Amino acid sequence: MTEAGLSQIYSIGEAVAELQRIYPDVTHSSLRFLERDGFVEPERTPGGHRQYRRKDIDRVRMIKDWQAERLTLEEIRERIQRLESMPEPENLWPRFLDLALKGQFQQAAAIILGADEVGMPLVTIFQDVLTPALIEVGRRWATNDLKVGEEHEVTELCRDLISELTMRHMGRVVEGPIVLVAAVETEMHDLGLRMVCGLLRQRGAHVHFLGSNVPTPFLLESVLLRRPDMVLLSVTLEEHRPSLERAIEALRRELPGGVSPVVVIGGQGGVNAGDAFTGPETNVMEPGGLSTAVDEILRYGTRADQ
């Protein structure tokens, strides 16, 4: 992983503070213990100070969850060894897709859920396994190498897996921003958005997900009901940009005073809009992977809280 979100550097104090949001018993000493036993390998500055990255924090979180399940350190070590012996994601997703297209859904699902059970990070499963598989399905469908029924079956299997993994990784502590999430009216693509919601929930955001094809009046109704810090709107196809325009115009003009969530626009259709939707409290996310998107959304949420 080379994305900015995954390469963010934490000092040991910052890593402890990040982990203590969910695991209050994490201390400097416990991180040093995990390092001595080879469970995490933080980098070192020339002066010898430890530097942790998101992957290290995710590894400690995983270990804490496994300890809560009463696994011993040796059992945890065995799981990590199994993870390290697994095929790389670029080799994993073709196996998953091949089984799914053959109608062997249980075996296909077992590949994904098994990777999760041995500790493959959620962002890796979403971004480097399920996403490439879905992209390949779309490519084959566009070239008539896939029947419509096959495309629907794989899509629904991925939808089920995203839901299952999201529930498995739901943050224990919900103290992040309140985020209302929707694909705009007429936009039916929402699997990438579901992955973003799963990662936001893992990171402690309070997410209200409305799904795809959300009419603007219902969006406004939900904003008034939930009073979010942020509204995340997604549009994948540029042909649905008029729906995005109507939604943003309504959010700017029809909400009462005191209700002014930050608006964040995601999806390729929004990215290609350039500066068309920029304005007070409206932000277009830059292209990037899921981890980058989640980090950017949480930064917007932090500003909204201030």
CA-to-CA distance for 141 and 248, rounded, in angstroms?
32
Indicate the pLDDT class of residue 4, thresholds 50, 70 and 90: very low
Indicate the pLDDT class of residue 164, thresholds 50, 70 and 90: very high
How many residues would you count in the chain? 306
Q: What pLDDT, on a 0 to 100 scale, did the predictor assign at position 3?
A: 44
- Tens digits of residue pLDDT in 231-251: 999 998 889 989 998 999 999
pTM given for the model: 0.82
Angle at 48 between CA 42 and CA 52, to 5 degrees: 25
Give the closest residue to 163 by CA, choosing from 190, 134, 124, 195: 195
Report the pLDDT averaged over residues 83-98. 94
- Cβ(155)–Cβ(197) below 8 Å: no
Give the closest residue to 118 by CA, choosing from 93, 84, 164: 84
Beta bridge partners of 282: 263, 279
Residue 279: pLDDT over 70:
no
Domains defined for the chain, CATH in brackets: 9-84 (1.10.1660.10), 89-168 (1.10.1240.10), 178-305 (3.40.50.280)
